[in-house]
Structure 1
Amino acid sequence: MKKNFKYIITCMLPIALLSTSCNKLLEVTPKYIYTTKQIYDNDLLADSVVLALYGKFATVQNDLSLNTGFSSDEFQPGINNFSEGLTFMYNYNLNPFSGSTNSYWETCYSVIGIANAMEEGVAQSTGMTQAGKNEVLGQAKFMRALNYYFLINLYGEVPLVLSSNYKEERIKPRMAIATIYDQIIKDLEDASQLLNAQYQGERVRANKWAAIALLSRMYLFTKEWEKAEQSASQVIAQQQLYRLGQFDSQDGTKAMDIFVKNNPEQILQLWNSLGSSIGGYTLSEFTSYAVTDDANGLLNAFESGDRRKDNYTNFQESTTSYIVYKYRTDGDNGMPNNEYTSLLRLSEQYLNRAEARLQLGQSTALDDINILRKRAGLTHISNNIPKQEALEAIIHERQVELCFEWADRWFTLKRLGIADAVMSKAKPGIWKSYAQLYPVPTTEIQNNRLLKQNPGYTN
């Protein structure tokens, strides 16, 4: 059945669902092959729209991790860097015409537009089963929430669009971030009730626990510590589905399996033909960027003996620098596609819960990061340390555990209000505080008179 679905999305729906323009990002109703009524006439066709939804979102998976790594303290230009765009990202020389940041606005709103159309299509359907409706609606709400999460953390306040009616939705003012978080949380809570607890095949589409896992992260952003703790605990408790993966064995007999497709540590992955995210084009001898290796960079954040350093990064002689090594498949020489891009994984839930428990004053808050430290070959940290020191330990563990993954480091620095302090040390003389938000694309401001540019940028 999965192959049939992939054939449908490959041959039938890209034109109908993914063909957009800068002026009509939200106009996603199929026009060429199927009408909306036909698309939602049965579960099979409606489910193919879910694949279109994920396919559109997958187009940002490489650049998002890479560009935000340059924005934060994870990446620096490599000796083979010939990309002016990457240099601009590193030095914060961005403008409203920058393709590297403009694409996120367009892609996220395209995904949101598809999700909105799905919600409306399901509501009008008379041929779908209730189970089919729940699945499509749950996926739509999950992906809408995820894309608004990226939009507000990249651009700040953005328009809140909840309808596919282009004429009505094309001109909207920027909405307060708190209001958008309310919508994100509502969507995820709804998705957690609509989606199945079990996976329907591979772990490449959200289930109930993926929605709850993302909720645990959102509750950190809204400082709802009890809910963050409860959500993370619910996911961690699903031991029949989730457990931590392994690092490379010391004797070389076993390779790290954390990012292998359908590994039990993975809560949600993105299917892709290459089988890797940013690792897919960091293994080349011509890699144009490197892991930061100065005193305040990521490489030196790994403690002595931390196995994550050798499992997540790798020294490359041809570039005399360290590269991303979380993904090992580079797509060359017919290598098997045994990796999918990690979107949500169990280790984050331990980090989320540790932070929430610390903020709640629970005495066992650091037990969760000690689970990750044990896997990494490090000693435990005592719970009997001051709260600020404990928070710094959690932030540090998040930095080295979730490096290169979906802007987590960049968003964490901003969420905790420490971006200025950290980045002014990491990039003295280069850091610009206003760069915490990317510029709103000029084309969007031209098309919507209610949009205003972010501070520090000129249209």
Structure 2
Amino acid sequence: MKIRYIIAISALTFSLVSCEDKLALTPEQDLTEKVIFNSPSTAKSAVLGIYSTAQGLEFYGGMPQLIEEYLGDNVDFVGSFPTLQEIRDFTTITSNVSIRDIWQVHYRVITRANKVIAQVPNVPNMETGDKDMYVGEAKFLRALAYLQLVNQFAQPYQVSQGSNLGVPLVLEDFTGEVTYPARATVNEVHAQIKKDLTEAAAVLPPTHPDGVGRATKGAANALLARLALYREEWPAAITAARAAIAGPYARATDYSFYDKNTSEDVFTIQNSATDNGRTGSGGWASFYSPTEVSGRGDGPFSASLLAAYAAEPGDKRAALKRRGTSAEGQGSIRDFTNKFPDATTNADNSPVIRITEVYLTLAEALAQSSAIPSAEAITIVNQLRNRAGLLPVAPLTKQATIDAVLLERRKELAFEGFRRMDMLRYKQNLRAGNPNAAFGGARTILPIPQRERDNNPSLEPNPGF
């Protein structure tokens, strides 16, 4: 892709300065580096800038996660955004602007992370420990960006064991030279993610000195566990999950932890009424709330998800909802999640990693690794069922244990952006009766944006687009 599209913040502008009756033109990026990376305090602002970019609608502000849920079977997207309707209907075109923006914002996060990784080690008067920590945070955020990108723009590992095309790897600090990187394979992208997270886990602290909302050792290990799970590398998933669980986290005893920054949270992007990822009418709470409470009414429960909860009456997670008018029209009353209740200001935090997800990763990897039902995996499942007010289960086979774990994943992590990948990992069709939604189908992933292909001759399109 053309660098000016990957790196929106690095487009060269010029400052006009009088010098001996001549105009001296200085690239803005040079001025930025001289100022920002000249002191510890300003270098820290560059790190915070990555988090701010990651907060955006198209990164972890709700849109990619909503897409993951309604391309699966947890959510009915009934909203009026034509670009999101195309994705829902598996009729997406390469000029879709929502897809274009997802691509661009992810690479903006990557670009800013690259800058910090390259420049922070040279900041004068900064403690070595702080340098290592800031670089570790940047590597964690770069890894998160690449994992989301490769999940949405490339077929999952299970299609061809990762030999298929992924996304371009852009790892160097932009210094003014325009390059046109080709797409790396999924395996190559995954290898870079693993490298970044391993290096981040080695230098990040168990708790961040600046408090919540910053990457930690546990967050890096948890994301490593997620990556290993997606690659079916069960021993690696077990090791990384146990390392994350060893951190200062604990599963909540009830479901009041959302937006509370509790021990349930491993990594959560912090939002407020004046600083959040909402853009225009979009955002977590906007998408997932009925119109009566200032939401868009776009993403109610699917009938399939409601049925999954109703199959066992008394599941407390089924009560995490509110009824209201959907975007389908006047009088259309549907059930909506209340995990993100503040549609007025969209101040709800963005849940990236919860310790419950890490335990479920551990349980799935244990279940897959054992020829007989894994006792530890069943214990984890039953601990979550107990929290949900359900009786314990005693699966009699390996497959029944795996099925029990996957059901808990669906019911625990609904609306948080996991469902599509969980279905594809097990080679399930995303939509019954729709050939475009079949596992391995062209439309189960997003197209490489046309704008990027127009500007980068090295970018191969996804098949079918």
1:51-450 mapped onto 2 (5 Å cutoff): 51-59=48-56, 60=58, 61-78=61-78, 81-156=79-154, 157-165=166-174, 170-238=179-247, 241-247=248-254, 256-274=255-273, 278-283=284-289, 284-285=291-292, 287-294=296-303, 297-302=304-309, 303-311=312-320, 313-316=321-324, 319-331=332-344, 339-361=348-370, 362-383=374-395, 385-405=396-416, 407-418=417-428, 420=429, 423-425=430-432, 428=434, 431=437, 433-450=441-458
Q: Secondary structure at the match of 1:93?
A: coil
Q: Structure 1: how far apart are the matches of 2:269 and 2:223?
A: 15
Deviations 1:288-342 (A, max 9, x none): 3243433xx222111322111112x32226641011211222336xx9x5x4221
Answer whether contact 1:213 1:349 (CA < 8 A) is retained. Answer: yes
Tell me how far 1:417 sits from its aligned partner.
2.3
Q: 1:110 to 1:454 in 2, by over 3 A?
A: same
Q: Secondary structure at the match of 1:268?
A: strand
Deviations 1:22-62 (A, max 9, x none): 36448379827943133122221111111110111111222
Answer whether contact 1:291 1:298 (CA < 8 A) is retained. Answer: no
5+ long unaligned stretches in structure 1: 1-19, 248-255
Q: Secondary structure at the match of 2:240?
A: helix
Answer whether contact 1:138 1:190 (CA < 8 A) is retained. Answer: yes
**Which has the bigger relative contact order, CA under 8 A and spacing at least 6?**
2
Deviates more, 1:362-371 or 1:340-349: 362-371
Tell me how far 1:431 sits from its aligned partner.
3.1
Answer whether contact 1:261 1:269 (CA < 8 A) is retained. Answer: no
Tell me how far 1:113 sits from its aligned partner.
0.8
Deviates more, 1:391-400 or 1:166-175: 166-175
Answer whether contact 1:77 1:288 (CA < 8 A) is retained. Answer: no
Q: Secondary structure at the match of 2:180?
A: coil
Q: Secondary structure at the match of 2:55?
A: helix
Answer whether contact 1:75 1:290 (CA < 8 A) is retained. Answer: yes
Q: 1:281 to 1:104 in 2, by over 3 A?
A: closer
Aligned residue identity for 1:209:
G
Deviations 1:428-453 (A, max 9, x none): 47736221210101111111111111
Aligned residue identity for 1:442:
Q
Q: Structure 2: how far apart are the matches of 1:429 and 1:117?
A: 43
Deviates more, 1:268-277 or 1:445-454: 268-277
Percent identity (aligned): 27
Tell me how far 1:372 sits from its aligned partner.
1.0
Aligned residue identity for 2:197:
L
Q: Structure 1: how far apart are the matches of 2:55 and 2:264?
A: 20
User: Which residue, out of 42, 51, 57, partners 1:45?
Assistant: 42
Instruction: Report the equivalent of 2:15.
Output: none
Q: Secondary structure at the match of 1:298?
A: helix
Answer whether contact 1:197 1:208 (CA < 8 A) is retained. Answer: yes
Aligned residue identity for 2:47:
V
Aligned residue identity for 1:326:
K
Q: Secondary structure at the match of 1:438?
A: coil
Deviates more, 1:54-63 or 1:313-322: 313-322
Tell me how far 1:21 sits from its aligned partner.
4.9
Q: Structure 2: how far apart are the matches of 1:372 and 1:449?
A: 50
Q: 1:448 to 1:278 in 2, by over 3 A?
A: same
Answer whether contact 2:6 2:107 (CA < 8 A) is retained. Answer: no
Tell me how far 1:128 sits from its aligned partner.
2.0
Instruction: Report the equivalent of 1:251.
Output: none
Answer whether contact 1:270 1:343 (CA < 8 A) is retained. Answer: yes
Q: Secondary structure at the match of 1:366?
A: helix
Q: 1:168 to 1:299 in 2, by over 3 A?
A: farther
Answer whether contact 2:40 2:124 (CA < 8 A) is retained. Answer: no
Q: Secondary structure at the match of 1:449?
A: coil
Instruction: Report the equivalent of 1:16.
Output: none
Answer whether contact 2:68 2:420 (CA < 8 A) is retained. Answer: yes
Q: TM-score, normalised by structure 2?
A: 0.82
Note if 1:22 corresponds to 2:19. Answer: no
Q: 1:259 to 1:23 in 2, by over 3 A?
A: closer
Q: Structure 2: how far apart are the matches of 1:33 and 1:183?
A: 28
Deviations 1:221-275 (A, max 9, x none): 222212211221222233xx3222243xxxxxxxx42212311101111112237
